[in-house]
Amino acid sequence: MKKIDTYQHRKILVLGLAKSGVTAAALLHKLGAFVTVNDFKPLSENMEAQGLLEQGITVITGSHPVELMEEGFELVVKNPGIPYTNLMVKRAFEKGIPVITEVELAWEISEAPFIGITGTNGKTTTTTLIFEMLREGEKQPLIAGNIGTVASGVAQEAREDNTIVIELSSFQLMGIDRFRPKIAVLTNLYDAHLDYHGTRSEYYGAKANITKNQGIGDYFVYNADQDETLEIARASKATLVPFSATKELGTGAYVSGGWLCFEGEKIIHREDVALPGEHNLENILSAIASAKLSGVDDTAIQAVLRTFTGVRHRLQFVAEKDGRKIYNDSKATNILATQKALEAFDAPIVLLAGGLDRGNGFDGLIPSMKNVKALVTFGQTAEKLEETARKAGIKSIVRADNVEGAVPEAYRLSKPGDIILLSPACASWDQYKTFEVRGDMFIEAVHKL
């Protein structure tokens, strides 16, 4: 960890706890800052806040009092989940107080370079692939961000010979100032999280922040098949490294004659790649580019791609039961992700879907539902999804109370040779704390069959 005095004797507010807030508060305290923590959860129910109190950190819980912003703070470190419409955050901006996320702290103290991965879909798969390729290539990577440990915790342990591979959300990237990854990856861009960002422009702008501080000595790995990502690439000052799953580029990463290539070199044949789904080609190609730029040899890349079958909750194979193959895609929290999952299979599908209602419809799924023979819905969006299924000509439609109840219904509607697929197309927060919890409940219910 770098010894920095940037925060010494500065008065800093950490807004919101969870893992990132706890780690950031403890780190800032260690760096000599005068730290105050504010979290909505009452102290009696807040073990994290109690632990920080024991370290001598000022803790205010139970509400977000706007008047707290009058106490002379020089910086706010915000939990990524707290929206910028929060009154405390808005007051900070009115007073000219910078608001960052803990990713910025991680970068400032890290001795190791960063590979940062963002995009609407494919972040977790791409991050995991890059990490595994670097590990197989003996590059001593560490994994952080949404997929792993809190970045500012990982950065405290990182050495110069490590590389921090970090999955970054738009929420995190909204709060960076000088964060500069050695390699930045943008998998793709589609409309998402507009309930948080408000506009497409703000969402895309947050994603573009991943390359805003890069220079000529850095690399920006971007999707050459999208106008939106091309526009961000044109504004980047980094060395551009495109990838394409649809056309031969001659540079960067691409597919040619069934081979996955990088800079004109054949790396591996598509038939030798274990990860299913055409949509995963983008993730694989961006991972190959990042690994090659990091000095990983072809043998290590090939070894990972021949064995890696996916990450937990992302088209994860769970079991085969009486001739039915069952997959957990709980991480599909938007329509596009579910489209990709449906298009990954040729067999008849019994789809389990539903969750938090963000106000959108689901007719965008119809072109991808040609193999869906039955639908089991749950959650707030059940009725909307059922309406879409009827438009798609699906006859078998059943509503369940939750994921656990949906599993036996899906099995009842299926036959040998079918795919049973949980791919909700919605966030989980109406019934489950996280998509991981939802996926775990699905897996548990499958094992009870």
pLDDT band for 149, please (50, 70, 90 cuts).
confident
Instruction: Choose one of 260, 278, 307: the last residue of a domain.
Output: 307
pLDDT recorded at residue 105: 97
pLDDT band for 194, please (50, 70, 90 cuts).
low
pLDDT band for 127, please (50, 70, 90 cuts).
very high
Q: Does residue 442 share a domain with residue 405?
A: yes
Rounded Cα gap, residues 55 and 29, in angstroms: 9
| Closest to 266 (Cα-Cα) out of 310, 301, 226 | 301
Q: Does residue 323 share a domain with residue 281?
A: no
Q: What does the pLDDT look like over 164-174, one tens digit per residue?
A: 999 999 889 99
> Would you say residue 376 has pLDDT above 90?
yes
Q: What is the mean pLDDT of residues 42-59?
A: 92
Q: What is the 3-state secondary structure (H, E, C) of the chain?
A: CCCCCCCCCCEEEEECCHHHHHHHHHHHHHCCCEEEEEECCCHHHCHHHHHHHHCCCEEEECCCCHHHHHCCCCEEEECCCCCCCCHHHHHHHHCCCCEECHHHHHHHHCCCCEEEEECCCCHHHHHHHHHHHHHHCCCCEEEEECCCECHHHHHHHCCCCCEEEEECCHHHHCCCCCCCCCEEEECCCCCCCHHHHCCHHHHHHHHHHHHCCCCCCCEEEEECCCHHHHHHHHHCCCEEEEEECCCCCCCCEEEECCEEEECCEEEEEHHHCCCCCCCHHHHHHHHHHHHHHCCCCHHHHHHHHHHCCCCCCCCEEEEEECCEEEEECCCCCCHHHHHHHHHCCCCCEEEEECCCCCCCCCHHHHHHCCCEEEEEECCCCHHHHHHHHHHCCCCEEEECCCHHHHHHHHHHHCCCCCEEEECCCCCCCCCCCCHHHHHHHHHHHHHCC
Residue 4 included in any domain: no
Q: Does residue 279 share a domain with residue 226?
A: yes
Q: Does residue 286 share a domain with residue 396?
A: no
Instruction: Choose one of 286, 307, 328: the last residue of a domain.
Output: 307
Residue 189 included in any domain: yes
Residue 50 included in any domain: yes
pLDDT recorded at residue 412: 97
Task: Write down the pTM of the prediction.
Answer: 0.80
Return the ∠ at Cα 149 (arms to 144 and 155), rounded to 5°: 65
Rounded Cα gap, residues 256 and 244, in angstroms: 10
Residue ranges of the binding site for ATP: 119-125
pLDDT recorded at residue 148: 67
Mean pLDDT of the chain: 94
Which whole-number Å values give the CA distances from 162 to 142, 167, 373, 438, in the listed order? 7, 16, 48, 33
Residue 6 included in any domain: no
Q: Does residue 216 share a domain with residue 166?
A: yes
Q: Does residue 134 share a domain with residue 49?
A: no
pLDDT band for 344, please (50, 70, 90 cuts).
confident
Q: What is the mean pLDDT of residues 190-210?
A: 79
Residue 407 included in any domain: yes
Q: Does residue 340 share a domain with residue 231?
A: no
> Would you say residue 191 has pLDDT above 70?
no
pLDDT recorded at residue 81: 84
Q: Does residue 121 share a domain with residue 96?
A: no
Looking at the 3D structure of the chain, how many domains does it have? Answer: 3
pLDDT recorded at residue 276: 79
Q: Does residue 282 share a domain with residue 139?
A: yes
Instruction: Choose one of 78, 100, 122: the last residue of a domain.
Output: 100
Q: What does the pLDDT look like over 55-110, one tens digit per residue?
A: 999 999 999 999 999 999 999 999 988 888 899 999 999 999 999 999 999 999 99
pLDDT recorded at residue 171: 87
Check which CATH number belongs to the domain holding 71 and give it.
3.40.50.720
Check which CATH number belongs to the domain holding 180 and give it.
3.40.1190.10
pLDDT band for 195, please (50, 70, 90 cuts).
low
pLDDT band for 436, please (50, 70, 90 cuts).
very high
Q: What is the mean pLDDT of residues 360-384?
A: 97
Domain of residue 438 covers: 316-447
Check which CATH number belongs to the domain holding 431 and give it.
3.90.190.20
Residue 1 included in any domain: no
pLDDT recorded at residue 98: 96
> Would you say residue 282 has pLDDT above 90?
yes
> Would you say residue 219 has pLDDT above 70?
yes
Q: What is the mean pLDDT of residues 315-321?
A: 89
pLDDT band for 200, please (50, 70, 90 cuts).
confident
Q: What is the mean pLDDT of residues 233-252?
A: 96
Residue 2 included in any domain: no
pLDDT band for 354, please (50, 70, 90 cuts).
very high
Q: Does residue 243 share a domain with residue 202?
A: yes
Q: Does residue 409 share a domain with residue 290?
A: no
The percent of residues in the chain predicted with pLDDT above 70, rounded, is 98
Q: What does the pLDDT look like over 419-430, one tens digit per residue?
A: 999 999 999 999
pLDDT band for 198, please (50, 70, 90 cuts).
low
Residue 416 included in any domain: yes
Higher pLDDT, 193 or 390: 390
Q: What is the mean pLDDT of residues 350-370?
A: 96
> Would you say residue 386 has pLDDT above 90?
yes
The percent of residues in the chain predicted with pLDDT above 90, rounded, is 84
Q: Does residue 107 share a domain with residue 95?
A: no
